[in-house]
C-alpha cells in the first residue's frame, strides 16, 4: 500500500523559505494539499502579498509582531533558520561567534517562544538542527554547540506544551547537497589545502549510502511531523544522514 501525504487543512509558516531546504519544504506542503505562508529575512518589510512576509528571526520585535499578525491563521511552524560556522576553537572571532549564537540558538528561541503562543491545539513546530549536534568534530565546535543547545530547547518546550497538544520536534540532517555544503567544502579546502573535489568525495563516502542528503528527504520528514501520522511524536530529534552516525 502506498501512502500519500495529505496536509489538507494545515497552514504552515515556513521560516527561511527562500533557502534550499525551506523551498523544498514549501513545495512538499503544497503538493500535499496544505497551505503555506513563506517568511524570510530577504523579503521586503511587510506582507507583500498573500502568503509572503518579511521576518528577521534574530530580532525579537520582528518575531513578536509577525506572530501577532498570524495568530489564528496558521496551524504549524517550520523554522530552517541557521548559520554556517567552521573553524577551530582556538581561533574564534568574537563578533562571528556572537552572530552564530544569535542566529542558530537565540533566533530559534524567539520562534519557539512566540510560536507556542500563536498555535492552536494540535499545532506543530519543527526546527532545523544538525547531525553535528550529536557529537563534536574538529573545526565544528561552535556550530555543534549551538545545534546541540537547540535540541535541548526542543525537548524542554515539548515537555512544557504536552498538555496543550502542541508538538515540538527537531530535524538533524547530515551533509546536505546544497549551496551551504559547497561553502563548507570551499572553506575546508582553504584550511587544509586539500582539493574541493577530494573533500566532496570524502563527505559522500562517509555515508553508507555513498551520497549526501537530498533536500527533499528533509522536506518529506518535516511533512510527516506535521501530519497526524506523527501525533504521538514530540520532543524528538530525527537524524537524517543515511546511517552515517558519529565520526
Going from the N-terminus, what domains does the chain have, and what CATH number goes with each? 11-175+215-240 (3.40.50.720)
What percent of the residues of the chain are helix, what percent strand, and what percent coil, each to the nearest 5? 45, 15, 40
Residues acting as catalytic residues: 129, 143, 147
- Which three-class secondary structure string do you get for 9-78? CCEEEEECCCCHHHHHHHHHHHHCCCEEEEEECCCCCCCCECCEEECCCCCHHHHHHHHHHHCCCCCEEE
> Residues, the chain, total?
247
Residue with cell 521576518: 55
CA of residue 237 relative to chain centroid, distance: 11
State the pLDDT confidence band at 105, using cuts at 50, 70 and 90: very high
- pLDDT tens digit sequence for 58-82: 999 999 999 999 999 999 999 999 9
- pLDDT tens digit sequence for 11-57: 999 999 999 999 999 999 999 999 999 999 988 776 657 789 999 99
Residue 103 confidence (pLDDT) above 90: yes
Sign of CA dihedral 134, 140, 143, 146: positive
Amino acid at each position: 500500500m502506498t501512502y500519500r501525504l495529505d496536509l489538507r487543512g494545515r497552514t504552515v509558516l515556513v521560516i527561511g523559505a527562500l533557502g534550499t531546504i525551506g523551498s523544498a519544504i514549501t513545495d512538499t506542503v503544497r503538493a500535499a494539499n496544505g497551505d503555506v505562508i513563506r517568511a524570510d529575512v530577504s523579503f521586503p518589510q511587510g506582507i507583500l502579498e498573500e502568503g509572503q512576509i518579511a521576518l528577521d528571526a534574530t530580532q525579537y520585535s520582528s518575531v513578536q509582531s509577525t506572530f501577532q499578525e498570524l495568530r489564528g491563521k496558521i496551524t504549524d511552524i517550520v523554522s530552517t533558520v541557521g548559520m554556517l560556522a567552521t573553524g577551530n576553537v582556538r581561533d574564534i572571532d568574537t563578533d562571528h561567534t556572537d552572530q552564530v549564537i544569535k542566529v542558530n540558538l537565540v533566533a530559534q528561541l524567539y520562534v519557539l517562544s512566540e510560536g507556542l503562543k500563536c498555535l492552536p491545539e494540535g499545532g506543530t513546530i519543527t526546527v532545523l538542527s544538525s547531525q553535528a549536534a550529536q557529537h563534536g568534530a574538529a573545526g565544528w565546535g561552535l556550530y555543534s554547540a549551538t545545534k546541540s543547545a537547540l535540541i535541548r530547547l526542543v525537548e524542554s518546550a515539548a515537555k512544557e506544551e504536552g498538555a496543550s497538544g502542541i508538538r515540538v520536534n527537531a530535524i538533524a540532517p547530515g551533509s546536505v547537497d546544497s549551496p551551504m555544503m559547497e561553502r563548507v567544502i570551499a572553506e575546508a579546502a582553504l584550511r587544509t589545502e586539500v582539493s574541493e573535489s577530494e573533500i566532496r568525495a570524502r563527505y559522500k563516502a562517509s555515508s553508507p549510502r555513498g551520497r549526501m542528503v537530498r533536500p527533499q528527504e528533509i522536506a518529506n520528514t518535516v511533512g510527516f511531523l506535521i501530519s497526524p501520522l506523527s501525533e504521538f511524536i514530540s520532543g524528538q530529534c530525527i537524524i537524517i544522514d543515511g546511517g552515517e552516525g558519529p565520526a
